[in-house]
Amino acid sequence: MNKKIAVYIDPPSHHFLNDRLFSYSGQLGDDLMAPYVTLQDFFNKKNIPIHTADLIPDENNDEIKIYLSLGILDNYQKLSKRPDVIVSSFFAMECPIVDPRQYKRMRDAQHYFKHMFSWSDSDSLQRFIGEKINIETFCWPQSYDAVHEKHWSRTDRKFLMMMNSNKLPAIYWQELYTERMRAVQYFSQSNDIDLYGREWNLPSIQLGQGHIPYTFRKIKRDIQILWQKVFPNPLLVAARKVYKGAADSKSEVLSEYNFALCFENMIIKGWVTEKIFDCFFTGTIPIYLGSPDISERIPENCFIDMRSFNGYEELLSHLKSLTTDDIQRYRENAKNFLASPAFQPYSKETFAELIVKTIEKDANIFLR
């Protein structure tokens, strides 16, 4: 490699700037940044600088700067004018009902980035982007590639749990935020579920409002808190009956249960996030609802498909009927899946390799 290059990445949000993308330790999940640490390790071994994009230096033609974005779309136009920058790839990491403005902006961004990556395809995303664009697919990278043996081996388990923050989508289309609430409401009647996550003691947070000035958002929030004291939401009242607070460790809490409600944020092709895998890592059986093509990605004998039941009463009856041997089979099947080639598209190493190959192509260099 004769060319001197450096890699600069705009993270999913400003919380991960100043290189926190590679070291963030906030309460977002266990080792959530592991895929980006893996990417950083690869480039460090090649003596290639890699940083978040806020640290990109002033124009310097002695070094080619490869620019990628994992969600932020505020900088690519300015950087595209620099002769020392290659605007390489955009990765849509969030789903469209959470951040619809991002998908609208992808229509313009496609003319600047050499690659537009998504976990779904152009047909599925067209209604959000406004037109068909050239989409290359990737799988959501997982932080681990095997079970957490200490957690997986645990036998003193309770029945059912759910772990999600108390949020509502920006767009109510094929969304599963409110379906989670209805599920909790049903199971709370018989006290058959424990709920974990953030802010279930407060009104639900409406997503997609980051563009609204903070002062107005705070006023709205204060009004919501007062309103719910007078007119409480029945779904939130039910949730608070079984609310156990936020979890210090997702893996630790998951391992305390045999089953977990594992509903994605929305129903759309390809949207398979860490939720189902987090269950596999801890030996918890996921009750899954989300990507319509889930059985093409993960064997059906690894999880319980919510679509197989007419409602929560039927689901509850099925869960209560499962024997210890039945439960263990699900767990073993998931463990075997993680060790199989079928899991590899979701590994952090595969994600890092995809980015490396893309940079090689765009900069006309060989890095491996």
Span 241-254, pLDDT tens digits: 999 999 989 999 99
Percent over 70 (pLDDT), the chain: 97
pLDDT band at 60 (very low <50, low <70, confident <90, very high): confident
255-304 pLDDT, tens per residue? 999 999 999 999 999 999 999 999 999 999 999 999 999 999 999 999 99
pLDDT on residue 115: 98
Residue type at position 19: D
Q: What distance in Å separates the CA atoms of residue 91 and residue 69, rounded to the nearest whole number? A: 6
- Let me know if the fold of 5-141+347-363 is the same as that of 149-344: yes
Q: What confidence score (pLDDT) does residue 324 get? A: 96
Q: CA 271, CA 342: separation in Å to the nearest integer? A: 17
Report residue 252 as tokens. Answer: 């630790």
Beta bridge partners of 286: 260
- Tell me what pLDDT residue 1 has: 54
Rg of the chain on CA atoms, in Å: 22
Q: Are 63 and 5 in contact (CB under 8 A)?
A: yes
pLDDT at residue 53 is higher than 90: yes
- pLDDT tens figures, 336-349: 999 999 999 999 99
* pTM of the model as a whole: 0.92
The whole-chain average pLDDT of the chain stands at: 93
d(CA 233, CA 203): 9
Is residue 5 over pLDDT 90? yes
pLDDT, greater one: 279 or 4:
279
Q: How confident is the model at residue 29 (pLDDT cuts 50, 70, 90)?
A: low
Say which residue, 15 or 80, is predicted with more confidence: 80
Whole-number Cα distances in Å, 214 to 209, 219, 221: 9, 9, 10
Edge-to-edge strand list for the sheet holding 85-92: 50-52, 5-10, 64-69, 85-92, 115-118, 136-137
DSSP assignment string, 43-85: HHHTT--EEEGGG--S--TTSEEEEEESS--SSHHHHHT-TTE
Enumerate the domain spans of the chain. Answer: 5-141+347-363, 149-344
Q: Which CATH architecture has domain 5-141+347-363?
A: 3-Layer(aba) Sandwich (3.40)
Encode pLDDT of 180-193 as tens digits: 999 999 999 999 99
* CATH code for the structural domain at 149-344: 3.40.50
Q: What is the mean pLDDT of residues 152-175?
A: 96
